[in-house]
Amino acid sequence: QVRLQESGPGLVKPSQTLSLTCTVSGGSLNSSTYYWSWIRQPAGKGLEWIGRIYTSGTTSYNPSLKSRVSMSVDTSKDQISLKLNSVTAADTAVYYCAGAVARIFYIWGQGIMVTVSS
């Protein structure tokens, strides 16, 4: 059973770069049928898709965040990474990684709370 675990700093200063990692266990990235997405949720609000990455490294980003986002994959470590630069308080949220097929999010990590504050 594939499981996802997000990790990274819980506090990021404004204008800096938010960096998160999602580790896949219970299966390897290379053998998985999923591709991988990041989704975030500000406190008390709805879900926002950030972007996706295939094991090949091909990416697609939400147009509203595209200028600030990058994702990468490390198949040797079974990890997917997210970087969001020039963060502001509006980027404070719980960040989830999720495994998807055809834009259906079948599996989710537990999420990690990231606060942007000085």
Cβ-contact 53, 67 below 8 angstroms: no
Residues in contact with other proteins, shown as a per-residue x/- string from 48 to 87 under the rule CB under 8 A: xx----------x-xx------------------------
Cα–Cα distance between 42 and 106 in angstroms, integer? 21
| 104 binds other proteins, rule: CB under 8 A | yes
Binding to other proteins (CB under 8 A) within 2-41 occurs at: 37
Cα–Cα distance between 17 and 12 in angstroms, integer? 7
Report the residue number, 8 or 75, with the smaller CB distance to other proteins. Answer: 8
9-38-4 Cα angle (round to 5):
75
Instruction: Enumerate binding residues for other proteins (CB under 8 A).
Output: 37, 46-49, 60, 62-63, 96, 102-106, 108-111
